[in-house]
Structure formats: C-alpha cells, structure tokens
C-alpha cells in the first residue's frame, strides 16, 4: 500500500517515484522503479531543514551522502542493501532494496507480542547484523521495532535506516531540549552523550527484545522526562514474558557499557536457548573490576556527590539531573550533561598517523564535561599516573600519563606515544591559537576528513570545556592508512590554555575502542603544560 505521487517524478534521471510507503522525522520513503535496471526499489527522500543556512545544509547533505556510502559497503543478509546514493535538486536520496513486508512494530501492533523462541530468532539475526556493522566501524544508533523489517513469506529480519539517524546530524538532545531519536530504546550513555559505541546499539537490542515479548519497551512512560529518568536512574524491570531470556535481557540492559554483554556473547546465549529450550546462563567469565574502575580522586566534601568510575560518570550525572526534573516533561532533556565523547580535530594540517584534520557541520551546544582525575584543582596539583600508566614529562613542554609500554616518537611539531607494534597512537600537538578557536579548528578539520582519513565516516564535533578552558571534541571512524592496518577509531580534543592551543588524540583499531577511550580520557585528564 502507499500514497501515489502526484507526477511519478523521476530523480537522478533514473529512479521513478511511484508511491509513498512511509514517512518519518528523517523524510519520506517511496516505492520506486530503477528504470535503468528495471527493478523495484525503495527510495528514501531525506528531509532538508529550512532553518539552516545554505552552507550548513550543504555540509549536512555531504555528511549524509558520505555516511550512506559507508553503509552501502556492508554485506549481510539481515542488513538492508543500499543500492545507490544520489542527489537531485540539492536533496539527498538513498536507494535501497525494496522489502515486501512491514516493520516489526507493525507486526506487533497487528498480531501482538511474539514468544520467546521467535524473540530469540529475531535477536540472533539483529546481533549477527550488528557484529558485521561494528567490525566495519559502522553504528546504527536508532535500533527500534520500526526500523526492523520482516519480509513476507520468508520472515527474514532486516535492519534498516542503518546509521541514517546519526549521519543526518541528529544528536540525542537538541538545543531546545527536544528529543531526537527514540528515547525508549536509547542507551543511558547516549542520553548523557558520555559516549556512543557498539555497546549503545546492544542496549537498544535489549529494549527491543522486551518490546517484542511484551508489546512495549520497559522504559515507556507518559513524558520525555519520565522516559529519561527510567532509562538512566530508575530500577529496570524487564517484563514477565522475558523470563526465558532474562539473563540476555539483563546483560544487554546493563547501564555500565563496559559491563554490558557484547554481541557475540548475547548471540551465543540466544542460540543456546533455541537449541536447548533452557534459560541461557551468562558468560562463564564474569566481569572483574580493574584498577581503571577505581575512582582516582580523593574523597570529596560530604556535600558533594561521591566520585564514580569513568564509564558511568556521565550517566549518573544525567540521572541526578533528570531525577530532579522528571516531572518537567521535555524541558528535562535540556539539563542533561554531555559526557565528552567526540573527536577533536586539531589544527588542520597534513595528517600524521593516527590523526587528521576535520570539523563537524552539526551545531555544537555549549556543554560541561566532567571527566576524570584532573578535573579538580586538587587532582591536577597531585598530577599522578593511575595504575598501568606512567607520567611522561615531555621536553616539548607538557606532561601527561601514558600507558606503560608506550614509547615516544616525535614527528615534527607532533609528539606521539606509540603502543608496541604502533597499533595504538597517542598524539599531542601545541600551536598558537587559531581563527575560530577550538570549535572552528575542529569544524574546518571535519570538512577535510574524507581527504585526510581514508573512508572517513561517523564524524562528530562537540563544543565543550577542558579544565574551564574553551575546547572541542572530535570522534570519527575511518579505514586506516592501509588494508593491513584496518578500520580505526579516533578520539581527539583541542583546547586553548595560557595563550596556546593544545590537541590531544588517540587512534586505535575499532576492536580496541574501549582501551582507546580509556587511554584518551587519562591523557586528557592528566595533561598539564610545563
């Protein structure tokens, strides 16, 4: 079914739009015909924001096309096939395979919840798809029943809208406090913008499993404020129907992303359930706290909140704020604190290994980052390295904590500290302040991202502060400088301090993104000019 177009117009000289089959915040989906190949396709016509300047709209369009092309490289039976990415009249369109069937949300609405075996099958298919995507450095960011299609006749589960919610510039919270995306399925670390990684997609799968088993997300409430509070602070109560799969659901709905089940673990547990009919047990090797989970700050005064581990700090800050305003509706969203995930692009110059120049076209609201040990004067004065790190007093005029075993490798005006084998690279650069400050530097760098970092995608720049100084964070994924190197992820922060501009970044293989984030956090937290 669908609404017929007024003129069955043809875009890009090839695709005839015939009937509207869906509409959402991202735009309109059409049933169409590829006149060149004579096949039926689905075409997503992405919405343009009239409030944006021509240059901003152009940058957003470029990012959308760039990211959609990255998704088009994915090949998996449970990921929608992207055939083409085109522009027509300055509007971007994404051409995809046409799935004969409705969404999982439609199926639940029409037929009701599914049983545990069917939920396990759906979960296995989605987790398998996500493993392929995550290995390629691509995140979904908006997994929900409406974005999962079920093919008629075969019951094949297909994950669609892959990456589109993010690439079109939609952040979790807008500057006005409105929610962009699907809050009932959004991980708590994304709510606080503390980090966004593969773990966030896995939380969404956990919420989706609850929805297909019971008919609704366990975080559904009457207001945005209520949903936010349910996600980041309230007790998580999976529905009774989830009992056969409870260890999987609880493992995916673990608020600390470092303790959350990974895709392979969850998929294996669901397969065990299908094969045996018995409730699967958690992985044999339980999570063991490490030194990095132990707060490094000295105890605060009684009136201050107790310090927490790095991986949950942003979430708990968000929880405190949301709890205080949960009844205030949408305005509660505006009070959440960004936790500092992002890429800081450094000054735009020729790239060195592990860094690049780039900027984000997304508007960057001012945020405050609560990070680690050096965020308080007392911690900065002590300037000690946590366990597993050493304090490097660099002759270039700074000191910071670097992982033990990393060796110094100066390259012109940049200084690198390399892991054994140089697979992880920690870089530092000091320059004079640049036009537009840290945010301007990062935004200009992001524009050049595809030129300086092969396969650049998922770039994001956020305005923030570092020890009270203006700063910007940049985060992105790319293919690496060689096939042998493989896909990489980069965290980067740039800030101004005492008349100088500093840039600190960490680049690592996508499979080591957790370690990279810790190395980055520790480096930034402990950095001091000397």
Tokens of 416: 């690198």
CA–CA gap between residue 405 and residue 390 (Å, rounded): 9
Nearest to 475 by CA among 520, 420, 428, 525: 520
> What is the three-class DSSP state of 271?
helix
CA–CA gap between residue 396 and residue 398 (Å, rounded): 6
CA distances 364 to 317, 367, 493, Å, are 20, 9, 14
CA–CA gap between residue 455 and residue 287 (Å, rounded): 34
Check 142, 161, 201, 503 and give the catalytic one.
Answer: 142
CA–CA gap between residue 56 and residue 221 (Å, rounded): 35
- If 0-12 CB within 10 Å is exposed, 13-18 middle and 19+ buried, where does residue 132 land? middle
The string of DSSP codes covering 66-117 is: HHHHHHHT---TTB--EEEEEEETTEEEEEEEPPSS-BHHHHHHHH----HH
Tokens of 266: 């969850």
Element (H, E) at 488: strand 488-497
CA–CA gap between residue 236 and residue 164 (Å, rounded): 29
Q: Could you confirm whether 84 is annotated as catalytic?
A: no
CA–CA gap between residue 367 and residue 464 (Å, rounded): 5
CA–CA gap between residue 321 and residue 330 (Å, rounded): 13
Tokens of 479: 């293919």
85, 93 Cβ separation under 8 angstroms: yes
How is the beta sheet containing 425-431 ordered, strand by strand? 407-411, 414-418, 425-431, 500-509, 488-497, 469-478, 457-466
Rounded to 10°, the helix 310-325/224-232 angle is 150
CA–CA gap between residue 400 and residue 415 (Å, rounded): 12
Sequence-distant (≥ 6) Cβ neighbours of residue 483 within 8 angstroms: none
Q: Which residues are catalytic?
A: 142
């Amino acid at each position: 079914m669908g609404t017929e177009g007024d003129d069955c117009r043809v875009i890009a000289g090839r695709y005839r739009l015939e009937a509207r089959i869906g509409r959402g915040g991202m735009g309109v989906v059409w049933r169409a015909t590829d006149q060149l190949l004579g096949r039926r396709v689905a075409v997503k016509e992405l919405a343009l924001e009239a409030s944006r300047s021509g240059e901003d709209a152009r940058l957003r369009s470029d990012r959308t096309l760039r990211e959609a092309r990255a998704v088009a490289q994915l090949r998996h039976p449970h990921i929608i096939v992207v055939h083409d990415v085109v522009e027509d009249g300055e509007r971007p369109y994404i051409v995809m395979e046409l799935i004969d069937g409705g969404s999982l949300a439609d199926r639940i609405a029409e037929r009701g919840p599914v049983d545990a075996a069917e939920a396990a099958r759906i979960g296995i298919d989605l987790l398998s798809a996500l493993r392929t995507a995550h290995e390629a450095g691509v995140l979904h960011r908006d997994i929900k029943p409406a974005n999962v299609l079920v093919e008629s006749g075969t019951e094949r589960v297909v994950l669609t809208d892959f990456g589109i919610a993010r690439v079109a510039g939609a952040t979790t919270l807008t500057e006005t406090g409105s929610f962009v995306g699907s809050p009932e399925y959004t991980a708590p670390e994304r709510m606080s913008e503390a980090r966004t990684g593969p773990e966030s997609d896995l939380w969404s799968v956990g919420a989706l499993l609850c929805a297909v088993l019971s008919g609704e997300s366990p975080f559904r409430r009457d207001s945005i404020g209520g949903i936010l509070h349910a996600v980041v602070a309230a007790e998580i109560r999976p529905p009774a129907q989830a009992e056969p799969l409870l260890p999987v659901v609880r493992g995916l709905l673990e608020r600390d992303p470092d303790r959350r089940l990974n895709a392979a673990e969850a998929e294996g547990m669901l397969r065990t359930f299908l094969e045996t009919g018995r409730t699967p047990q958690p992985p044999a090797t339980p999570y063991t706290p490490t030194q990095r989970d132990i707060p490094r700050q000295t105890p605060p005064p009684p009136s201050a909140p107790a310090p927490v581990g790095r991986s949950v700090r942003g979430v708990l800050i968000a929880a405190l704020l949301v709890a205080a305003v949960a009844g205030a509706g949408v305005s509660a969203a505006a009070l959440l604190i960004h936790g500092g995930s992002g890429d800081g692009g450094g000054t735009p110059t020729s790239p060195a290994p592990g860094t690049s120049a780039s900027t984000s076209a997304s508007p960057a609201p001012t945020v405050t980052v609560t990070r680690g040990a050096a965020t308080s004067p007392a911690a900065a004065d002590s300037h000690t390295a946590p366990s597993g790190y050493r304090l490097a007093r660099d002759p270039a005029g700074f000191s910071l904590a670097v992982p033990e075993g990393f060796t110094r490798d100066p390259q012109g005006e940049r200084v690198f500290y390399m892991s054994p084998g140089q697979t992880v690279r920690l870089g530092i650069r000091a320059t004079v302040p640049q036009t537009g400050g840290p945010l301007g530097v990062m935004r200009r760098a992001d524009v050049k991202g595809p030129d300086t970092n092969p396969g650049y995608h998922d770039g994001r720049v956020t305005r923030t502060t570092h020890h009270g100084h203006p700063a910007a964070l940049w985060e992105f994924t790319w293919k690496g400088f060689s096939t042998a190197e493989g896909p990489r992820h980069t965290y980067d922060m740039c800030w101004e301090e005492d008349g100088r501009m500093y840039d600190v970044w960490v680049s690592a293989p996508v499979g080591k993104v957790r370690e990279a984030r810790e190395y980055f956090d520790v480096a930034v937290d402990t950095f001091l000019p000397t």
